Amino acid sequence: MATILTTGRRRAATRWSLAGLLALGTPLASPAQADETFDDAKLLLTNGVTSVEGASGGGLASWSTIAGRGTERAIGVSAHVTAIALPDYGWQSHGVSVGIHDRLELSYARQNFDTRKVGAALGLGHGFKFNQDIFSAKLRLAGDLVYGPQWLPAIAVGVQHKRNLDGAIVRAVGARSAQGTDFTLSASKLFLSRSVLVNATARLTKANQFGLLGFGGDKHGKHSLQVEGTLAYQLSRRLAVGGEYRTKPDNLGIAREDDALDMFVAWAPVRNLTVTGAYVDVGSIATFGGQRGGLVQLQLAF
pTM: 0.87
Q: pLDDT digits over 221-267, tens only? A: 999 999 999 999 988 778 889 999 999 999 999 889 999 999 999 88
Question: Which pLDDT value is given to residue 46?
Answer: 81
Question: Which pLDDT value is given to residue 180?
Answer: 98
* Range from 13-22, 166-175, 221-230, 265-274 carrying the lowest mean pLDDT: 13-22
Question: Which pLDDT value is given to residue 238?
Answer: 84
| CA within 13 Å, CB half, 196 | 6
Question: Which pLDDT value is given to residue 37?
Answer: 86
Bigger pLDDT: 30 vs 142: 142
Give the start-to-end residue ranges of the domains of the chain.
Answer: 7-301
| CA within 13 Å, CB half, 240 | 33
Distances (CA, A) of 30 to 3, 17, 34: 8, 21, 6
Q: What amino acid occupies position 283?
A: G
Tell whether the model's pLDDT for residue 35 goes beyond 70: no
Strand, helix or coil at 8? helix
CA 233 to chain centre: 17
CATH number of 7-301: 2.40.160.40
Using CA atoms, how far apart are residues 204 and 236, in angstroms rounded to an integer?
36
Are 266 and 234 a contacting pair, CB within 8 Å?
no
Question: Which pLDDT value is given to residue 226?
Answer: 98
Of 57, 37, 38, 39, residue with least CA distance to 47:
57
Q: Residue range 63-90: average pLDDT?
A: 95
Are 244 and 229 a contacting pair, CB within 8 Å?
yes
Q: pLDDT digits over 115-150, tens only? A: 998 888 877 888 899 999 999 999 999 999 988 898
Of 48, 110, 130, residue with least CA distance to 299:
48
Q: How confident is the model at residue 20 (pLDDT cuts 50, 70, 90)?
A: very low
Are 20 and 49 a contacting pair, CB within 8 Å?
yes
Using CA atoms, how far apart are residues 42 and 271, in angstroms rounded to an integer?
10
> Which residues are CB-contacts of 140 (< 8 A; sequence separation ≥ 6)?
64, 66, 102, 103, 104, 154, 155, 156
Tell whether the model's pLDDT for residue 302 goes beyond 90: yes
Tell whether the model's pLDDT for residue 183 goes beyond 50: yes
Tell whether the model's pLDDT for residue 15 goes beyond 50: no
Question: Which pLDDT value is given to residue 124?
Answer: 84
Question: Which pLDDT value is given to residue 41?
Answer: 78
Q: Residue range 205-220: average pLDDT?
A: 96
Are 232 and 240 a contacting pair, CB within 8 Å?
yes
